[in-house]
Amino acid sequence: MAQKPLRLLACGDVDGKFDILFNRVRAIQKKSGNFDLLLCVGNFFGSTPDAEWEEYKTGIKKAPIQTYVLGANNQETVKYFQDADGCELAENITYLGRKGIFTGSSGLQIVYLSGTESLNEPVPGYNFSPKDVSSLRTMLCTTSQFKGVDILLTSPWPKYVGNFGNSSGEVDTKKCGSALVSSLAMGLKPRYHFAALEKTYYERLPYRNHVVLQENAQHATRFIALANVGNPEKKKYLYAFSIVPMKLMDAAELVKQPPDVTENPYRKSGQEASIGKQIPAPVEESACQFFFDLNEKQGRKRSSTGRDSKSPHPKQPRKPPQPPGPCWFCLASPEVEKHLVVNIGTHCYLALAKGGLSDDHVLILPIGHYQSVVELSAEVVEEVEKYKATLRRFFKSRGKRCVVFERNYKSHHLQLQVIPVPVSCCATDDIKDAFITQAQEQQIELLEIPEHSDIKQIAQPGAAYFYVELDTGEKLFHRIKKNFPLQFGREVLASEAILNIPGKSDWRQCQISKEDEETLARRFQKDFEPYDFTLELRQENGLNPGGGGCCEPRLLHCTPA
């Protein structure tokens, strides 16, 4: 029998606004049912008068949920936390203590560290020291069975947490935060890490806790920084989540990697965080042009023209941009599922979508590391457009029109989704109407932009956006300002109005075996061959014209410069 998940709430700086917080919790519980715990990080008490707190302390008012809080971050609030080992502050409100491990009856393991960083001994009651962090790590990490903890609670952000991740807004994570907390997070491998103090909300992309291809897979970590209660900008200060204690989880389920997982932000910086050194983010070795060679002996170098170079100074091709860490979509990356690759050009390649909406749902991806269409160089844009036009002709010959969309949000490498829709299903106007209608229902402002306009004219590099392009060339665009449903494009196309396969709106529900994927890849390659404009390129380069896909190609690349 599956273990029932615990339902938890996490909160940022309360700053003494107890009524606002607990009224909000009551409203949430009334709407969504009861939660098991509320975990508060940052400043629980504020600089406001104590009248409001006295009502809770004396029992006139009562917290509607079992609440656990961290200790003081400044001299002013030390007075509220009399016992360094933790104590009950009021009914249903408990101070966890300066540092330690809280294990619930369910087996849920929460590690907590109160205060802010200080490198000087002895530390005052509102600080933690390198010794505190070291003792926590020693307490847990020295056993051979240690795999990680469920939750880590700290008030300061960990330094460097933004490395390899999505933007942290105005907070510069290379300067802000605690290197000691980075060190702690690196060692403890929490599944969730909550922090506050910066008066803003930041949910980092999940990061992995193992080195790909060198260590066994481990669970991912989600870092979430929460804003202050009742802030006028209405930034998120309360976060609801469900969790099954890791001790009760199936090992395979625990280590499943989210699709948007990144490299560990502390991999370089965290190793020396305890001595506060500023370590620059690691840089991957660069590589040059890539070709799939199905027949050549592995390891043979080939110039960008495909012919063995006689010149002592052959012209070097421009190197495609490289990712800051491992990437699932950079063609030279070991993480790429190469059996899904069905066609390769000079700057881009085609791959079957994993868990596609249909057997011929494909992705156009740049070979080098680009995050979005906006960041593509001119020659890559040209080949992307060539692939789009070719796929339109290909699908039209098969009685289908294709829809192209991109979501530049919580993704690291550009993925242009190309989904064929049978002409018999609906007209182009129906597809357009379905996108607009579903966007309105979800309060998404989807704007129609001029047919021949360039996305680069509308979105700046680094800006989050979603856009969809219809077979007529019409484009709909949404600038993502806050949150955005990750499966929105799929949900619309899978809806009854278009493909009528609502159960396929999430790719994770559509996965098939590797053998079946290889069969689909072979079939697509064969069907697409009459339209393949890259055949001439490969023949010029003396390469087998078969492309990629399920033929177990060997990836050749120039040696790093």
- The predicted pLDDT at position 309 comes to 37
pLDDT-derived band at 540, boundaries 50, 70, 90: low
- Cα-to-chain-centroid distance, residue 205: 3
User: Does the bond joining 122 to the residue before it have cis omega, within 30 degrees of 0?
Assistant: yes
- 160-174, 191-205, 417-431, 525-539: which has the minimum mean pLDDT? 525-539
What does the alpha-carbon distance between residue 215 and residue 195 come to, in Å, rounded to a whole number?
28
Average pLDDT over residues 13-25: 97
Average pLDDT over residues 297-322: 41
172 pLDDT above the threshold of 80? yes
269 pLDDT above the threshold of 90? no
pLDDT-derived band at 535, boundaries 50, 70, 90: confident
pLDDT-derived band at 319, boundaries 50, 70, 90: low
pLDDT-derived band at 122, boundaries 50, 70, 90: confident
Instruction: State the CB neighbour count (10 A cutoff) for residue 556.
Output: 20
User: Does the bond joining 323 to the residue before it have cis omega, within 30 degrees of 0?
Assistant: no
- The predicted pLDDT at position 362 comes to 97
- The predicted pLDDT at position 488 comes to 94
- The predicted pLDDT at position 144 comes to 74
What does the alpha-carbon distance between residue 87 and residue 82 come to, in Å, rounded to a whole number?
8
Q: What percent of the chain has pLDDT over 90?
A: 60
- The predicted pLDDT at position 556 comes to 29
Bridge partners of 154, per DSSP, are 113
- The predicted pLDDT at position 393 comes to 95
For 218-267, the pLDDT digits (tens) are 999 999 999 999 999 999 999 999 999 999 999 899 999 988 899 999 98
- The predicted pLDDT at position 272 comes to 39
Average pLDDT over residues 202-217: 89
- The predicted pLDDT at position 352 comes to 95
154 pLDDT above the threshold of 80? yes
- The predicted pLDDT at position 553 comes to 34
Helix (H, G, I), strand (E, B) or coil at 56: helix
- Cα-to-chain-centroid distance, residue 546: 34
Give me the chain's average pLDDT, please. 84
284 pLDDT above the threshold of 60? no
Bridge partners of 439, per DSSP, are none
For 81-106, the pLDDT digits (tens) are 988 889 999 999 999 999 999 988 78
Average pLDDT over residues 544-557: 37
Average pLDDT over residues 373-402: 94
**Cα angle 280-409-166, degrees, rounded to a multiple of 5:** 20
Q: What percent of the chain has pLDDT over 70?
A: 84
Q: How many residues does the chain have?
A: 561
Walk me through the domains of the chain, giving residue ranges and CATH numbers.
Answer: 6-255 (3.60.21.10), 338-540 (3.30.428.10)
- For 273, phi then psi, to 5°, come to -65, -30
**Cα angle 47-51-55, degrees, rounded to a multiple of 5:** 125
pLDDT-derived band at 531, boundaries 50, 70, 90: very high
274 pLDDT above the threshold of 60? no
For 512-522, the pLDDT digits (tens) are 899 999 999 99
**269 and 173 Cβ atoms separated by less than 8 Å:** no
**The pair of three-digit structure tokens given for residue 22, joined into one six-digit string:** 């607990």
**371 and 412 Cβ atoms separated by less than 8 Å:** yes
**431 and 498 Cβ atoms separated by less than 8 Å:** yes
Which residue did the predictor score with more confidence, 511 or 306? Answer: 511
Which residue did the predictor score with more confidence, 84 or 53? Answer: 53
- The predicted pLDDT at position 15 comes to 96
